[in-house]
């Protein structure tokens, strides 16, 4: 009887402690683990109360913004890791959860369970050793390796016949601008293509097959840029981040090298760059995988700053709302291209340009009359820093944030080259291609929504100035002004 009373008292104390914490402690506003802003208390209206939307949003706010959210999630991951039960093959763990990977659906009439094409043989890098210790860490996420060598991989679900819309929009740009502008098409593979253990290859599909199909749909005057095989040749090097879904700056270097060769422009090797290292980096895959092993395997984020070329960076920042819609844009301002983060900072991938919601223009000391636009997603951020020796101007435009008329922008800035550079998920799906198509002749108007101001510079602890660029604070005005 005494034991039962002790147990009841212990449960009551724990329950009371949770009530005090969850009902009285300050709510968490930002999750560093999930790298997102958490739900806020909803706005009250009688109509929303009557429809039930208000109470649903209150419930979402209460569960999403609990105090010490990241601490509780980390503890939960640690317990699950210790209590995990191996299923199926040895060392393969399954964790039931929703995948963060982009939704990819088969085309009408196609069998989503059909066998994938044969993978290219990964045998041309004698230094490469494939890690076979793997577990499924969320539906769509594979965690490979142990200890400090853990790598998290995002599965790919596309088939061999996808991505035609991406090729079609590259063709459309070439047709629109004619011989005055050369258009290039690059498809960036993700890490799983090179590091997936054989025992779990059935959960992902061939990115090479999709890439080859996209290239086969290009018109003869659009130039494909094959970076798949150059990356494969260097897969024993840290060309992809282990704890993030992106590739590394070194992977971007080999891709930029391949592009420069196709474009016929000069290119400098890494001896002309200064190496910088951010230690203790843990990227997005910790939050995606919910696997404590990823957090316990921090890595070095290594990037390279050109040292023998002058350059000046100009930005136009976009204001975005809570739905990541553009609601306004600022005037051009000069700032650094490279932002330096202290060791352990999870924002290190924003080293180049400080993020995505902006237009970037870099004027370089390379006077050859070549001016390139890079149309990209976040993977494309690794490319422009290696092209300052190659082009007189480098313009960077994200598929999610652009409000101008592309035809006019190309004419006003005397663009000679346009590179489509997107990861395989963006290239496969139709959203990115539709955005690029819309850019050509768009007349933008701001949506009616409460704006959320994007910071002009990332929340870095310190910054490194580019070789010849002075830092500048963006003007307070948000007047629309094009980069000339």
| pLDDT (0 to 100) of residue 199 | 84
| pLDDT (0 to 100) of residue 19 | 55
| pLDDT (0 to 100) of residue 124 | 58
Q: Are 442 and 406 in contact (CB under 8 A)?
A: yes
Least confident of 263-267, 396-400, 464-468: 464-468
- Structure confidence at residue 470 as a pLDDT band (50, 70, 90): very low
Q: pLDDT for 406-437, tens place per residue?
A: 999 999 999 999 999 999 999 998 999 999 99
Alpha helices in 1-154 (DSSP H): 2-24, 46-51, 53-64, 69-83
Q: Give dist(CA 92, CA 132) in Å, integer.
A: 10
Q: Are 260 and 266 in contact (CB under 8 A)?
A: yes
Q: Is the pLDDT of residue 169 over 80?
A: yes
Least confident of 212-216, 245-249, 264-268, 468-472: 468-472
Q: Is 281 exposed, middle or buried (0-12, 13-18, 19+ CB in 10 A)?
A: buried
Least confident of 29-33, 42-46, 170-174, 221-225: 29-33
Per-domain residue ranges of the chain: 2-67, 154-452
Q: Is the pLDDT of residue 480 over 60?
A: no
Q: Is 472 helix (H, G, I), strand (E, B) or coil?
A: coil
Q: pTM above 0.85?
A: no
Q: Is the pLDDT of residue 386 over 60?
A: yes
Place of tokens 């980096």: 281
Q: pLDDT for 309-338, tens place per residue?
A: 999 999 999 998 877 788 888 999 999 999
| pLDDT (0 to 100) of residue 74 | 59
Q: Is 5 helix (H, G, I), strand (E, B) or coil?
A: helix
Q: Give dist(CA 372, CA 181) in Å, integer.
A: 9
- Structure confidence at residue 304 as a pLDDT band (50, 70, 90): very high
Q: Are 166 and 416 in contact (CB under 8 A)?
A: no
For the segment 172-191, the average pLDDT, to the nearest whole number, is 97
Chain mean position to CA 120: 25
Q: Is the pLDDT of residue 224 over 80?
A: yes
The rounded percent of the chain whose pLDDT value lies above 90 is 52
């Amino acid at each position: 009887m005494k034991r039962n009373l002790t147990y009841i008292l212990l449960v009551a104390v724990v329950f009371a402690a949770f009530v005090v914490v969850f009902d009285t402690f300050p709510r968490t506003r930002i999750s560093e683990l999930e790298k997102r802003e958490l739900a806020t208390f909803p706005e009250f209206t009688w109509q929303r109360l009557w429809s039930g939307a208000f109470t649903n949003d209150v419930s979402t706010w209460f569960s999403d913004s609990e105090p010490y959210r990241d601490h509780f999630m980390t503890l939960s991951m640690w317990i699950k890791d210790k209590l995990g039960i191996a299923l199926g093959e040895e060392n393969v763990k399954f964790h039931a959860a929703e995948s963060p990977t982009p939704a990819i659906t088969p085309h009408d009439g196609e069998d989503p369970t059909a066998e994938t094409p044969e993978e290219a043989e990964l045998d041309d890098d004698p230094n490469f050793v494939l890690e076979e210790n793997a577990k499924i860490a969320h539906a769509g996420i594979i965690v490979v390796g142990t200890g400090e060598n853990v790598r998290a991989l995002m599965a790919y679900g596309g088939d061999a016949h996808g991505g035609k819309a991406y090729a079609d929009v590259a063709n459309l740009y070439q047709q629109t601008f004619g011989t005055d502008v050369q258009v290039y098409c690059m498809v960036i593979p993700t890490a799983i293509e090179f590091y997936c253990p054989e025992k779990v290859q059935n959960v992902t599909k061939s990115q090479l097959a999709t890439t080859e199909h996209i290239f086969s749909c290009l018109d003869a005057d659009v130039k494909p840029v094959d970076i798949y095989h150059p990356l494969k040749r260097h897969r024993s090097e840290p060309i992809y981040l282990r704890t993030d879904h992106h590739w590394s700056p070194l992977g971007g270097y080999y891709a930029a090298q391949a592009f420069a060769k196709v474009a016929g422009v000069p290119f400098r090797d890494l001896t002309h760059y200064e190496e910088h290292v951010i230690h203790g980096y843990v990227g997005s895959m910790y939050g995606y995988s919910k696997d404590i092993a990823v957090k316990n395997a921090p890595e070095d984020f290594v990037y390279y700053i050109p040292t023998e070329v002058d350059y000046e960076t100009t930005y136009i920042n976009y204001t975005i709302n809570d739905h990541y819609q553009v609601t306004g844009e600022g005037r051009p301002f000069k700032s650094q291209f490279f932002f330096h983060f202290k060791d352990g900072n999870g924002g290190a991938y924003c080293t180049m340009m400080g993020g995505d919601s902006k237009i970037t223009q870099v004027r370089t000391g390379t006077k050859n009359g070549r001016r390139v636009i890079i149309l990209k997603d976040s993977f494309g951020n690794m490319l422009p820093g290696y092209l300052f020796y190659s082009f007189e101007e480098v313009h960077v435009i994200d598929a999610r944030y652009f409000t101008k008329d592309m035809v006019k922008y190309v004419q006003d800035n005397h663009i000679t080259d346009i590179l489509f550079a997107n990861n395989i998920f963006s290239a496969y799906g139709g959203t990115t291609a539709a955005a690029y198509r819309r850019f050509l002749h768009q007349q933008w108007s701001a949506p009616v929504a409460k704006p959320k101001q994007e910071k002009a510079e990332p929340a870095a602890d310190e910054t490194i100035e580019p070789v010849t660029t002075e830092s500048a604070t963006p003007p307070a005005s948000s007047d629309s002004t094009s980069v000339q």
